[in-house]
Chain A
Amino acid sequence: QVQLVQSGAEVKKPGASVKVSCKASGYTFTASAIHWVRQAPGQRLEWMGWVNTANGNTKYSWRFQGRVTFTRDTSASTAYMDLSSLSSEDTAVYYCAKEGFPGAGLDYWGQGILVTVSS
């Protein structure tokens, strides 16, 4: 069965960076893009961008442009999200999600990980 398993919770200080992983199984990793979505406590879902797992091309939401980097390791079927210059406003649950096919929605999601930014 399709699964996306994310790394564990993180606590970071303001100004630091965080790297989150998302390991995929149960399907061909390079056949579907991986999107990243975050949700601050009690707030709405916020789309961050996506990575083409076949060729590594990326698209970032303008909100995170310059501060976020998506990469992937096809040999490990794992996608990564690196967010820098953290502030308290980045405290949120970060999800990875697999795209069904272009435009068809995000059909499988990781369990989400809480990133807490606190001094």
Chain B
Amino acid sequence: QSALTQPPSASGSPGQSVTISCTGTSSDVGGYKYVSWYQQHPGKAPKLMIYEVNKRPSGVPDRFSGSKSGNTASLTVSGLQAEDEADYYCSSYVGSDNYVFGLGTRVTVL
């Protein structure tokens, strides 16, 4: 199972929006609703931001939203803030109780 494809970097100015893509296949992203997104600041453990494609855990700002079209999932961060600067990883169920992470995207707030 190969890692899901994400752009290495994305950026935006404070207040703007940034969208990160996560591309897989019909055997993972396209085949299941179990896509999650994680935020990771340097030296810290990842934090769950989105699960089941578009659901937000309690405490995650509604500036973070998720969607999916075909084999590509997306995370959008609206109203960018300085604290949103971090690495973001997608993850998908791939069947047979297996999961896979994406390559990761570094988001920079300009």
Contacts and interface: CB of A to CB of B under 8 A. Distances in A.
B33 to A, nearest CB: 7
A100 B51 contact: yes
Contacts, number: 67
B51 A105 contact: yes
Interface in B93-110: 93, 96-104
| Interface residue SS majority, chain B | strand
Interface string A74-91: 000000000000000000
Interface of A: 35, 37, 44-47, 50, 59, 61-62, 95, 97, 100, 103-107, 109-112
Interface of B: 1, 3, 32-34, 36, 38, 40, 45-48, 50-52, 55, 57, 89, 91, 93, 96-104
Given A44-B89, A47-B98, A109-B45, 7 more contacts: A45-B40, A50-B97, A97-B46, A100-B48, A103-B52, A104-B36, A105-B91
